[in-house]
Structure 1
Amino acid sequence: MSIMHKESIQYWHNPILPEVELSRANFKQFEFDRHVHLDYHIGVVSSGCQQYSHRGSAYHLGPGLISSLNPDETHNGQSYTSEGYQVHVMSVPYHYVSQISQEVSQTEGFFHTPLIDDNHLYQAFLKLHMMLTQHQSNLSSLQIETSMLAFTTELFLRHGNVPEQATDKNNALSQSQIKEVMAMFHDDPGQEFLLETLANSVGLSKFQFLRRFKQSIGMTPHAYLKRVRLEYAKKALIKGGNVADIAHRVGFFDQSHLNKAFKQAYLITPAHFQRRVL
């Protein structure tokens, strides 16, 4: 099956992560000469197959695999077949990965191999790439930062020189820290929360807070807050009122945003739920 007929490439910068460069391209005949990148270069192919050379060896990047290139590593790239390929790429700044390495007491993040076979992370990458490149007004800063940090950390824990045992699995938030964060969420669920603000409130870095919160609660801060907002929406719907007003009051961008999240959580729309209980 033919993948594409025209060479094309698109670039994005998400305003929440302005230093992360994102691209999606369709290539059939175009070939990359040998080159290097200043950042960590992570890429996946969603259709077709790319071939590239790295340190004298040839690699084939097809669906399900991840290309993982460290800064300053020479490589090239071209289509493996005449059908062409579609590739999704993310360039992650050196200092972003360096911060993760420092948090887990490692001197430097470094990929062991330029090709990773990990379908779980492949799917996670495609989901994250779509999240960061689509112009969705209903994505919060907390959701984007959490998703990016979680993916990058897991990628290096699984396939970098950061060992899993470097993190303390029992290092959860204290009860007072949990109460502090929960109070912020419950006192005003409609406000926009930033990962840095939440972390600072309990004296932790963003990395430490994200991992300890998930260890303590079993959910990311964004997932927990989303559920809290839905629970408050249910209570408000039971008391009556306009669905759109309720959506804004509990922190959703609009009624459509609430409808989607509500139905995903409760298998019913807010309006239908309200008709049932009033």
Structure 2
Amino acid sequence: MQHEKIEYWLNPILPNIELSSANVEKFSFERHVHLDYHIGIVTSGCQQYSHQGKVYHLAPGFISTLNPDEAHNGDNITLGGYQSHVMALPVDYVNDISREMGQAETFFNAPLINNPALSNAFLHLHQLLTTEQDSAAQLHIETTMMAFITELFIQNSDVHNGQMSSQQHTSTKKLSVLQLNYIRTLFHDEPGQAFQLDALALQLDLSKFQFLRQFKQSMGMTPHAYLKRVRLEYAKKALMKGGNLSDIAYQVGFFDQSHFNKAFKNAYLITPSHFQRRVL
């Protein structure tokens, strides 16, 4: 375990959402409350906390979900301590998403959710928000954030209600085939543009939530994931024609060479430079 510490971040793209990571062994969180909704995981060790008269163990694979003004504490119970990652969501942000999902109750029903896949998704989101600060990453950050939060709300409601009705997940406004084709054409025609989720949704007279959910239902992937793959496909075509790697990265929307290299290798199991040497 490293020296005990807690680090804090604010991402300029989502400036009202507080992020923190802690390495804790001897330090104890005294009984306290928060003004915001708190979501947390641990990646190593285990934290024990009491909440409304019950004791819970936050271990890897679990997600802690705490509502504003709910008293709780936090203690280490493992040799070597634990590492945790936490996100604080403002009440207004949670209420906005809840209303769009048709949820009357804007609170977490269970203080602990056992869902390793959702826990891993949270860790990915937390890492993204604490490392990506450039405006070029805005669409990626917003879609990843909203996708996680809505899935968490669905999981939370399923825990409480058994199964939510399909009507609760259905938006009143629909993304038409014409609108879907417009967005796809926009991404193909201008892959280097830094798109923003709210601006895209506004063009279609949809909320960000409606656009994100319905695009994913139609295409099987988020707008950002679709755009990222489009960018990589056009990059491949350009590499096959002998283009300069840095120029290609910029033209298709990657704001630096390292991000381009990483995305390309994750998609095709080969670096852009190696791919170009193979095909030329």
TM-score, reference length from structure 1: 0.92
Instruction: Say if 1:146 and 1:195, in contact at 8 Å, map to a contact too.
Output: yes
Aligned to 2:94: 97
Looking at structure 1, the residues matched to 219 and 178 of structure 2 have their Cα atoms a distance apart, in angstroms, of: 14
5+ residue gaps, structure 2: none
- Alpha-carbon distance, 1:129 to partner: 1.0
Q: 1:34 to 1:185 in 2, by over 3 A?
A: same
Aligned: 1:26 with 2:23: yes
Indicate the SS of the match to 1:140.
Answer: helix
Looking at structure 2, the residues matched to 5 and 250 of structure 1 have their Cα atoms a distance apart, in angstroms, of: 40
- Alpha-carbon distance, 1:13 to partner: 0.6
Aligned to 2:45: 48
Q: Which moved more, 1:205-214 or 1:90-99?
A: 90-99
5+ residue gaps, structure 1: none
- Alpha-carbon distance, 1:152 to partner: 0.7
Aligned: 1:107 with 2:104: yes
- Alpha-carbon distance, 1:173 to partner: 2.4
Report matched runs for 1:12-91 at 5 Å.
12-81=9-78, 83-91=80-88
Instruction: Say if 1:262 and 1:268, in contact at 8 Å, map to a contact too.
Output: yes
Q: Which moved more, 1:77-86 or 1:176-185?
A: 77-86
Aligned: 1:252 with 2:254: yes
Identical residues among aligned pairs (%) = 62
Moved over 4 A (4+): 135-139, 169-172
Aligned to 2:197: 195
Indicate the SS of the match to 1:83.
Answer: coil
Looking at structure 2, the residues matched to 219 and 101 of structure 1 have their Cα atoms a distance apart, in angstroms, of: 22
Q: 1:82 to 1:275 in 2, by over 3 A?
A: closer
2:178 to 176, 179, 183: 176
- Alpha-carbon distance, 1:264 to partner: 2.0
- The AA in structure 1 aligned to 2:206 is L
Looking at structure 2, the residues matched to 83 and 272 of structure 1 have their Cα atoms a distance apart, in angstroms, of: 43
Aligned to 1:208: 210
Q: 1:99 to 1:164 in 2, by over 3 A?
A: farther
The Cα RMSD (Å) is: 2.1
Aligned to 2:119: 122
Q: 1:9 to 1:139 in 2, by over 3 A?
A: farther
* 1:122-145 deviations in Å (ceiling 9; x for gaps): 111111111111256596100001
* 1:8-31 deviations in Å (ceiling 9; x for gaps): 110001111111111111222222
Looking at structure 1, the residues matched to 82 and 270 of structure 2 have their Cα atoms a distance apart, in angstroms, of: 40
Q: Which moved more, 1:138-147 or 1:95-104?
A: 138-147
Instruction: Say if 1:195 and 1:206, in contact at 8 Å, map to a contact too.
Output: yes
- The AA in structure 2 aligned to 1:20 is I
- The AA in structure 1 aligned to 2:177 is Q
- Alpha-carbon distance, 1:109 to partner: 2.2
Aligned to 2:219: 217
Question: How many residue pairs get matched?
Answer: 275
* 1:177-208 deviations in Å (ceiling 9; x for gaps): 01221222122110100001111111100000
Looking at structure 1, the residues matched to 182 and 212 of structure 2 have their Cα atoms a distance apart, in angstroms, of: 15
